[in-house]
Every structure is written in structure tokens, then in C-alpha cells.
Amino acid sequence: MARLVKTQVEMEGRYEERWTLVEEDVTPEYADGEELAVVGHPHTRVSAAARVTGGARFISDIDLPGMVHAAVLRSPHANARVASLDRAAAAALPGVRAVIGPGDVPERDGRPVLTDAPAYAGGAVAAVAADTPDQAERALEALAPGWEPLAFVVDLDEGLARQEFTEDPEETSRGDVDAALAGAAAVIEAEYRTPTQIQTPLEPHCAVAAWDAGGLTVWSSTQGIFAARDELARAFGLEPDDVRVVCEYMGGGFGGKQGCGPEGYMAAELARRAGRPVRLVYTRRDEHTTAGYRAPTVQTYRIGADADGKLVGVEGSAVIGVGVHGWVFPVLNPAEALYECAHVRSMVLPVKLNLGFSNAFRAPGVMEGTFGFEQALDELAEELGIDPLEIRLRNPAAIEQASGKPYTSKHLEACQRRVAELAGWKERDALRSDGRVRRGMGLASQIWWGGGGPPAHATVRLGKTARPTLVCGFQDIGTGTMTASAVVVAEALGVPVGHVRVQAGDTARSGYGPTSGGSMTLASVAPAVRTAAHDVRTQLLDLAADMFEIAASDLVLADGHVSSRDGTLRHEITEITSKLGNSSLVGHGSRGPNPDGMRVNTFGCQAAQIAVDTLTGAVTVEKVWAVHDVGRIVNPMGAMSQVTGGVLQAVGFALSEERVVDPTTGTVVNAGLEDYKVPTIADTPEIVCEFVDSPDPHLALGIKGLGEPPIIPTAAAIGNAFAHATGVRVRQAPFTPRRVLEALAG
């Protein structure tokens, strides 16, 4: 029996009412405190062998018979009009199969994909497809565009002064902040600046498109195959199932590859005109100029507390350099939600600039907002003479204050206490010295969403060899969802994880799976996967009960065997499945809604120990302790790997990553991995990682998401450690040697 119910779904803090199909589900919850056989134990990636042997086929590896190659003409100017474009000359060159220009590609989100008015350097004007990449490049030259450069604004302060916004500035408030701050024992004011951080996936944005009688197939390096399918279907006037989107392996997205990017639209249009499959791969330069970024911010805080360190008022404003367009992410959410405070006012100003569009980057808004707010809070603690850990413990938020709703679970204070214990917080002053190298320790907290939700569907089938196949509509963007899903199947069917085959990343093969964003993939998918596997388990036990003439309820399935509870009967699962012949047991599962009237959030705390070389200005992050509350941990090895990646990206944000724009030309001057510095293995601190690992009592399997939480508090903890080490605050990330030396020089 299935019903349609209205439920609230969440993605990165945006809530939406949606009709949801709810299917009857008799799968029992894992018992309280039960030690599970497979879930919660470490497992290597199911795709490990394919990845290390080169067998894993990434999108840019796709090579189809007759496939031709695309190249894109991009504006070198920060703002321009294209007065002329010689398409005929390009089309006449050898090997050229298609030439497209402004107006030729369906719009994406109501905006042209190719335009004769590119409003940033990197804006796409035209594209070609040719037999070889060289021929495509020559065709671009033949287009010989006539540029008319226009005035531009790329500086955030200048943009703010001009009051040109991508959408109206928005103020939200509760209580009376001005009165509250007037009565506070201490008030600090602080301004923090955060950089433009590029997602820098190792695999750039890319797509291969091919048309046939059945419609359009696009191999897309995407975080959302179904979102990409629906976008392409709308754009090209097709039924959703006339579009097949495939993403089996992809080299990272980190937020910048949601849905189908312009590359998919251009590849599809070129392929349609060329009558051949087309591959379009962004250059590394494109990746830095026109594929999105974490928007830069200027955050200003006024925070006040009473003499005991109880927060009385929080005021924050965030100026965000959105670029030509982009989502406005919740930069001030940490200030609004992390601690209890009755009087809060926040103001967001999304500034329009002649720079590429910004988009999501792992914990968009919240990560950069935490960098500012969690340092401002340390400044307040210092003013009051209260230990930074202590001021956090004195201001716990019992509920989600914006909605007044309770959290399904919250163990933030346990994370804070555990981090302090692991890091030796009480003795942290012993790290300090007045030598050339100064050491210090700081900490910061994390709040994020990540409850997942419907819809998500899964199918499990089991045949004669008792090696189950899971078919599911998610895509594994490198996070380990395939492995965690295999773990859930293995738990239900009592087979080794390595015997579970996972087929994901193909819209033609499965029911819907969610976009991998908002830390929601596993929390959304795992319940459907478990239900599908449980369905097969029930069928298998019924067959065994028949065969062995025993009640199914007296049988257990584990270790590859069906056994009776009293231990008198024990048979390999294959004794039953081998009799299936060419039949298979097929189970189906879908994701139900989360409980109404509650908020699902993840929490955590990290501490960082750093060393500052006062002679060179070099900062080294020596050690990071991370404790997160993300509900049940399905695969501790995969979870640890997520934390490592998040911490490392935050180390880059804090110390070295920054898009630099030449104010005189409006162009990005470090559009490549030589000059845009992402951390390497040599910059990787020792990372100590623990989880509260307490299943959320209100969620199926007790799972909350982990994709974003680990990147959130690290940079703020590093900033606080810097102040502890040196007594000086650098208010602008990244802490480059120049900024460090200037700050130390006072």
C-alpha cells in the first residue's frame, strides 16, 4: 500500500513542502544498542580495485565510436559585447562538425548558455565540435570575435559601494538586539574576510552527449544524475525517460557539480547538430573562471554577553561577492543557530560583480560564516576572561531557535568536551613560547543540516550464487556511498560486503536517487536500501523455512548461513539459492519522510594545533582533533576518510587557497593549480577523528549526513589557534605569509 503525503524536505538549510510517495515499510529498526555484524565496522571501498587499477571509467575517459571533440570560445574581457563572429569561417575548416553561438543552446535556469554579452572573463560565447581537439581549437580562432569591452566591477568593496545586488539585501531578526547589547557586560565588534575558494575537483566539469532513436544519453560528471536528467529533458523538450544520464565514477564535485552544468547543454546541442557523440571537457583555466566557487565574504559581528559569558545579543552582517549570479548561502546561520541567544539580527548583502557565477562548495555559507563567528566568539571570551571552551558550554541551544522546533538529536556539548579531552585543552598554554616558532591551540564548533529525506528508491536482487546486486539511483561522487550501501545490504542478507554488487549512477537502470549534496545522500538512500534488502531477506527465510520445515521466525541469517535460533540447524545460504535456477528474489525499498515538527541537524567540534614561524610567516597546522555528531556511523573507514578530506580543504581555505583577480583587467590571475595553492600531502596535519556514534532515535537507521560537517569548524579553529599562539588576530583568510607578517608587525 502506498500513499501520497505532504512532507517537508530540506537541502542545505532550505526547506520545502513536497508531495511524497510513502510505501508501507515493515522493516524493523536496528535494535537499540545492538552490536551489528557489518554496519559500524570498517570496510575498504568496494570500488578500490577498479580505482587503483585504472579500471574505473571516469566521464573524461568515455570514448564512443565516431565521437568528436568540443571547444568553447570564452570572453577574455571582464565585461564585453560581441560585435561580430565569423561562424562561416569556422564551419568551413577541415574536421569541423558543428558551430554554435549565442541563442543556439536552450537556456539554463532562464539564462543563456552562450551569449553575445558575456559579463565576466570566461563567459561562454560560442562552441564548436570537430574531429580532433586541435581542429576544434583552430575553429575557435577562425571565429575571430570582434570584442567591444565594457566597464566592469570586480572588487567586493567597490561593488558594495555601488549597491548593485543579485537580489535584495535581507534582514532577519528576533528580540531586540540594540537594547540587549546596550545592557551587555562586554561587547566585541569584529570584521572578518574570507576568500574566493575554488572547488578544484581533479576531474574538471565534463560531459559526453550522444543522441540516438531512443533520445539523449549524457555521461556527466555530476552530483545529481536525476537532476541533470530533468534539466536536460526540460531544456531539449524531451520526456525525462528519453534522457539517460550516467555517472559511474567522477573525480569530485564538492558542490560545484549539481545537476547538469553548461557543459552538458553545450555537448548535447553540439551532438544534435553534428549527428555524432560529442565530448566537452573544461580546461583547468575554465575550472577557475567559469565553474563556480565559494563566494568571498566580509562579515561584521557585534556580540555581547553578560559577566558569566551568557550571550545576550548577536548582530551580524555578511557582504557576499556572488559574481554575475548565484545562490545566497546562509553565511550567518552559525551566528543565528549555534548558541542560545534571544536577541539576534542578521543582514545579508549579495553583491553583483563581473566575475563568474558562485555556487555551492561543501557547507556553502556556513563554513565561511563559522570562520568569522567562531573567532568573534573567542574574542568575546577573551574580553570576559572566560575560557573559549567554557563560553561555548555555557550557551547551549536546546532547540532550533529560528523555528522553535526540537532537534531529533544533538550532542554538541559531548563533542566539545571530547575534543577538549583528546587535545589536552586544559594544558594548551604549555604549547606557547616567545621563540621564533610560536605554537597554539584553538577550537571551534560546527552546526549543519544533513537529515536526508525522500524520495529514494532501491532494488536488491539475489540469484543462485547468493551474491546480491543492489540497484540504486544515487551517484558516488567519491564519498563512499557505494560501499556504505553495500554494508547495509550485507548486514541484512548475512553475506560478505565484497559479495554485494552495487549498480548506481545511471538513470536508466534505477528508480530515483537524490542529488549528492547537503550531506544527504546516505541518510536518504540507506533506508531504501535496507528495506529492499530486508524484503529479499524475508523471501529467503520463507524459502528456507519451507525447505527445512521450521518456522521462518526461528531462523537467522548471518555469516553466509541460515541457522536456527536453537543452533540445531545450519546451512549455507547457497543451499537455498542454488535451487533458484534462473529465478531471482527481488526486493524493493523506498525512503519515507523524516518526523514532522522536528529539525535534523549535525553537530561537531574540532581543535587545531598550529605552529607560526614568525620569521617567514609560514603557518603549519600540526594536528587537528575532530569529533562529530552525525548519528550512526555505517562505515568508520569511509567516515574517517570524509573527515580527512573536509579538514584538508579547510586547511587550504585557512592558509593558501584564494582566487586572485587583477583589478585593472578583471581577470583571474591564478587560474591554474600552479598558482592557486591547494594543500598537498606535505600540508596534511595529523588528524584524530572520533564520532559520537549515537544513532539518531528519530531517523531510519539513525543516520545523519557527514559530507559537509568536517570542513566547517577547521578554519575557525586554526584562526583561534593563531591568536592563542601569537596574541594577534589575522582577520582575513587565507593566512598567507604576507598577511601573517603584516599582522605580527602590528
Is residue 586 a contact partner of residue 578, using CB atoms and an 8 Å limit?
no
144: how many CB neighbours lie within 10 A of its CB? 11
CB of 178 to ligand MOS, least distance (A): 35
Nearer Cβ to ligand MOS, position 118 or 450?
A: 450
Which of the residues 3 through 22 are near ligand MOS (CB under 6 A)? 12
CA distance 455 to 7: 11
Alpha helices in 132-253 (DSSP H): 133-142, 156-162, 177-182, 225-236
Task: Please tell me whether residue 514 adopts helix, strand or coil conformation.
Answer: coil
CB of 362 to ligand MOS, least distance (A): 5
CA-based torsion, 675, 678, 680, 686: positive or negative: positive
Q: Which of 518, 587, 652, 695 binds ligand MOS (CB under 6 A)?
A: 518
CB hemisphere CA count around 504 (13 angstroms): 36
* Owner of C-alpha cell 528519453: 242
Residue with nearest beta carbon to ligand MOS:
255
Which of the residues 380 through 409 are near ligand MOS (CB under 6 A)? none
* Beta strands 243-246 and 215-220, pairing class: parallel
Nearer Cβ to ligand MOS, position 217 or 481?
A: 481
Q: Which of 112, 159, 255, 262 binds ligand MOS (CB under 6 A)?
A: 255
Which of the residues 626 through 645 are near ligand MOS (CB under 6 A)? none
The three grid cell numbers given for residue 113, joined into one nine-digit string = 548558455
CB of 255 to ligand MOS, least distance (A): 3
DSSP label at residue 34:
P
Q: What percent of the residues of the chain are helix, what percent strand, and what percent coil, each to the nearest 5? A: 30, 30, 40
CA-based torsion, 227, 273, 126, 106: positive or negative: negative
4 exposure class (CB count in 10 Å sphere: 0-12, 13-18, 19+)? exposed
The three grid cell numbers given for residue 334, joined into one nine-digit string = 552559525
Nearer Cβ to ligand MOS, position 253 or 388?
A: 253
Which of the residues 553 through 612 are near ligand MOS (CB under 6 A)? none
Which of the residues 693 through 732 are near ligand MOS (CB under 6 A)? 708
Nearer Cβ to ligand MOS, position 11 or 80?
A: 11
CB of 86 to ligand MOS, least distance (A): 39
Nearer Cβ to ligand MOS, position 454 or 518?
A: 518
Q: What are phi and psi of 419, to 5 degrees?
A: -60, -45
Which of the residues 189 through 228 are near ligand MOS (CB under 6 A)? 223
Establish if 524 lies at the interface with ligand MOS (CB under 6 A).
no
CB of 545 to ligand MOS, least distance (A): 45
Tell me the C-alpha to C-alpha distance, in Å, between residue 360 and each of 112, 252, 364, 523. Answer: 20, 13, 5, 20
Nearer Cβ to ligand MOS, position 269 or 708?
A: 708
Q: Which of 7, 75, 221, 258 binds ligand MOS (CB under 6 A)?
A: 258
CB of 520 to ligand MOS, least distance (A): 8
Query: How many residues sit in the footprint of ligand MOS (CB under 6 A)?
Result: 11
Nearer Cβ to ligand MOS, position 309 or 364?
A: 364
CB of 221 to ligand MOS, least distance (A): 13
Nearer Cβ to ligand MOS, position 515 or 736?
A: 515
Q: What is the b/e burial string over 335-349, where b = at least 16 CB atoms within 10 angstroms of the residue's CB?
A: bbbbbebebbbbbbb
Task: Please tell me whether residue 153 adopts helix, strand or coil conformation.
Answer: coil
CA distance 24 to 8: 19
Q: Which of 517, 604, 617, 631 binds ligand MOS (CB under 6 A)?
A: 517
Nearer Cβ to ligand MOS, position 197 or 317?
A: 197
* DSSP-assigned beta bridge partners for residue 72: 127
Print the binding letters for residues 327-366 with ligand MOS: x by CB under 6 A, - otherwise.
---------------------------------xxx-x--
Nearer Cβ to ligand MOS, position 362 or 591?
A: 362
CB of 78 to ligand MOS, least distance (A): 27
48: how many CB neighbours lie within 10 A of its CB? 12
Positions that interact with ligand MOS (CB under 6 A): 12, 223, 255, 258, 360-362, 364, 517-518, 708
